[in-house]
Structures are given as C-alpha cells and as structure tokens.
C-alpha cells in the first residue's frame, strides 16, 4: 500500500492521540499534501523541524497500530464485506452459505 495512503489510515484511527501541534503539521503533510517548506513557513519552524516531527508522528502512529491492529482489522473486515457484496450480487444457494460463513467470521472478529 502506498505510504501516504497508509499514513492516512493511521491518522484516521489514531490521529486524536497526537497533540494539537502534531495534528496540524501531520494533517498539512498527509491530508492537505503541503510540502515541508510550505508547512515550515506556515508554522514558523524549520523545514528540518517539520520533517522530524512528521517522522516522529509516523513512528508513534505505527506503534499504536503495532499494538492495537485496528487498521489491519478494518482492512480485513472491509475485504470481507466486499466479498459478501460480490456474493450477494450472484445470489445462489452456495453463495448464501458463503455469505453466512463470512459474516460469522466478521462477527467473531469484532
């Protein structure tokens, strides 16, 4: 998965655990696609300072994911829901059985 997409997922799940300053800078870089120089000018800090803060935020968010696995679980459930949708579009007796199996797996995972 592309780095910025993964970082976006991490931020969606764990971003509220960052402080306000970290969130502003991280959002500027990840969500608003601003350059390090643009963020540095906006925040009144050095480009290197922005780079270091983004790296620390990435590390912090990844550590949360390594412990909690919320993004991983979300991706797995999203894939299962896609499978259910595909099977439901081709409703057969066999597919209904598969839908039940997948939905039971989702419920167990939750």
* pLDDT over threshold 70, residue 14: yes
Instruction: Give the C-alpha separation, 86 to 99, whole Å.
Output: 10
pLDDT of res. 36: 95
Q: What is the pLDDT of residues 80-104, one digit of tens each?
A: 888 877 777 777 777 777 877 887 7
Query: What pTM was estimated for this model as a whole?
Result: 0.78
Contact 51, 34 (CB under 8 A): no
> Which is more confident, 93 or 21?
21
pLDDT of res. 94: 75
- If you search the block for the tokens 């598969």, which residue do you land on? 98
Instruction: Give the C-alpha separation, 58 to 53, whole Å.
Output: 9
Contact 102, 83 (CB under 8 A): yes
């Amino acid at each position: 998965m592309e780095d910025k997409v993964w970082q976006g997922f991490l931020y969606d799940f764990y971003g509220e655990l960052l402080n306000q300053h970290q969130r502003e800078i991280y959002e500027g870089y990840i969500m608003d696609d601003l350059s390090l120089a643009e963020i540095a000018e906006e925040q009144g800090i050095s480009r290197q300072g922005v780079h270091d803060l983004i790296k620390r935020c990435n590390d912090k968010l990844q550590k949360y994911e390594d412990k909690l696995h919320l993004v991983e679980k979300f991706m797995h459930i999203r894939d299962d829901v896609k499978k259910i949708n595909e099977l439901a579009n081709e409703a057969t007796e066999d597919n209904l059985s598969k839908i039940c199996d997948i939905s039971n797996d989702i419920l167990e995972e939750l």
